Amino acid sequence: MKALDELTFDNRFARLGDAFSTHVLPEPIAAPRLVVASPAAMALLDLDPAVAETPVFAELFGGHKLWAEAEPRAMVYSGHQFGSYNPQLGDGRGLLLGEVYNDAGEHWDLHLKGAGQTPYSRMGDGRAVLRSSIREFLASEALHALNIPTTRALCVIGSDTPVWREKQERAAMVLRLAPSHVRFGHFEFFYYTKRPEQQKELGQHVLAMHFPHCLEQTEPYLAMFREIVERNAELIAKWQAYGFCHGVMNTDNMSILGITFDFGPFAFLDDFDAHFICNHSDDQGRYSFSNQVPIGQWNLSALAQALTPFISVEALRETLGLYLPLFQAHYLDLMRRRLGFTTAEDDDQKLLEHLLQLMQNSGVDYSLFFRRLGDESPELAVTRLRDDFVDIKGFDEWGELYIARVAREGVIDQAQRRKRMHAVNPRYILRNYLAQKAIDAAESGDYSEVRRLHAVLSNPFEEQPGMESYAERPPEWGKHLEISCSS
């Protein structure tokens, strides 16, 4: 394990120069202190978890100190926000401190969010607040534990620095990790500003650093785009399967690597609602839960437009056509496993859609239903779950079809079935009300609940003694929390 001063930097993106990013130093926050750290994320950098408790740790990730080898840069990009093109965005409150490679040869961006003003802050103060930093930290690590591709979060550093949003709050910084912070919006920026040389340089950088195998293909850019389509189809299938709502799927929030990126007003479904809108600023429901699938395709189309200097329109259109079939295949495979099926049948899609409609009409808790479905034999589970449904007759009809479907798989060992289903159906998810309780305590100076919740969510599929309250259905007030882009 390494100490903080033993990290090895290789700042590849910074070497692209000033056309791609601007050198900016982080602005320190007052009285920096550790709120929470992720030992699993620290392990990606070969860091000893004990260093998180040292003063220098909070000073480094609170903007007071900097490695000599770090080259903090604010990246420039553009993007489509709620469907409208914004010509220049960029890191308005984040800084790419540098790129570190670990003993396994993996490169990780160190990206400090809430680091102060940059040339791209526009009218903002460049700060993040404690609540949004905690939410991003918890979501990053919770999604990773659910096997959903995501940025990772190393730590949250709190402070005494006041910031104003709807009310006065305290500034915080979150350090996130990713193999790359290049977004769809990076390619859009150079395309729409008509800078073909820089766009090609960006493309060559992304290919060499993140898709080197595509360089062996006859058309490297097309091979890269195809992989981006494939990764995003799988990512959004996992979002839908686990009831995750991103909330702000602007193209500047879409990673070129197909990982969950830039957390804002996200939420996991409590009661199943296909039309759920987690961002109360999203008046038209553009980024509702069910819309995430077509919006994923829309965003890929926006990226395709920016790649037309390198790829023919016909090839781009053909590759985009892969998205929906790939999404459907990944999604149905995941949902079959969540239902306990080990084989595929033609009517599985119809059986699933029937169930989701019944859940929608009755406001059934999405995560708890699937977890409980695997607790007992199909017959007993269906009998116990029927009381959650208003349309009991309709659920009974579904239950008969489900039991018959399971029976067609042959002799089933219930212990093995339970183990298999519990391995894909989490006992614990990051519900908004759990995050809010942790935030309320942290804003009062008590970080124990944030740390406890993080520990629980880091092992979501296993029963954890004494943690039953984290697996309960939320109270009524917890279902109606309003989350916005404000941070």
d(CA 122, CA 89): 8
At 411-443, the pLDDT tens digits run 789 999 999 999 999 999 999 999 999 999 999
Element spanning 237, H or E: helix 220-242
The one-character DSSP state at 47 is B
Task: Please write the tens of the pLDDT for every residue from 86-99.
Answer: 998 999 999 999 99
Per-residue pLDDT of the chain (487 residues; tens, 9 = 90+): 899 999 999 999 999 999 999 999 999 999 999 999 999 999 999 999 999 999 999 999 999 999 999 999 999 999 999 999 999 899 999 999 999 999 999 999 999 999 999 999 988 899 999 999 999 999 999 999 999 999 999 999 999 999 998 899 999 999 999 999 999 999 999 999 999 999 999 999 999 999 999 999 999 999 999 999 999 999 999 999 999 999 999 999 999 999 999 998 999 999 999 999 999 888 899 999 999 999 999 999 999 999 999 999 999 999 999 999 999 999 999 999 999 999 999 999 999 999 999 999 999 999 999 999 999 999 999 999 999 999 999 999 999 999 999 999 987 899 999 999 999 999 999 999 999 999 999 999 999 999 999 999 999 999 999 999 999 999 888 777 777 655 5
Rounded Cα gap, residues 49 and 4, in angstroms:
10
CA gyration radius, the chain = 23
d(CA 474, CA 270): 7
Q: How many residues does the chain have?
A: 487
Question: How many C-beta atoms lie closer than 10 Å to residue 197's C-beta?
Answer: 9
* Mode of pairing for the β-strands spanning 84-86 and 267-268: unpaired
User: How far, rounded to the nearest angstrom, does the alpha carbon of residue 322 sit from its chain's CA centroid?
Assistant: 23
Q: Extract the tokens encoding 384.
A: 């116990």
Active site residue 252: yes
In angstroms, what CA-CA distances link 339 with 37, 332, 367, 423?
A: 35, 10, 12, 12
**pLDDT at residue 240, as a whole number:** 98
Return the pLDDT at 487.
52
Exposed/middle/buried for residue 283 (C-beta within 10 Å: 0-12, 13-18, 19+)? exposed
Strand blocks (E) in 236-312: 244-245, 267-268
Q: Is 406 helix (H, G, I), strand (E, B) or coil?
A: helix
Q: How far apart, in Å, are the Cα atoms of 385 and each of 266, 393, 412?
A: 28, 13, 20
* pLDDT tens, position by position, 242-264: 999 999 999 999 999 999 999 98
Q: Please give the torsion angle defined by the CA atoms of residues 160, 164, 167 and 173, in that order, rounded to the nearest 10 degrees.
A: -50
Q: Count of alpha carbons within 13 Å of 39, Cβ hemisphere only? A: 9
- State the catalytic residue, choosing from 252, 262, 282, 365: 252
**Nearest-CA neighbor of 386 among 378, 394, 395, 377?**
395
- In the chain the first and final C-alpha atoms are separated, in Å, by 34
Predicted model pTM: 0.97
DSSP code, position 211 = -
Three-state DSSP state, 158: strand
Rounded Cα distance, 182 and 148, in Å? 19
User: 86 by DSSP, 3-state: which?
Assistant: strand
Given a contact cutoff of 8 angstroms between Cβ atoms, the answer to whether 183 and 175 are in contact is: no
Per the listing, tokens 């409590």 go with: 270
Q: Cα–Cα distance between 457 and 140 in angstroms, integer? A: 10
pLDDT at site 166: 85
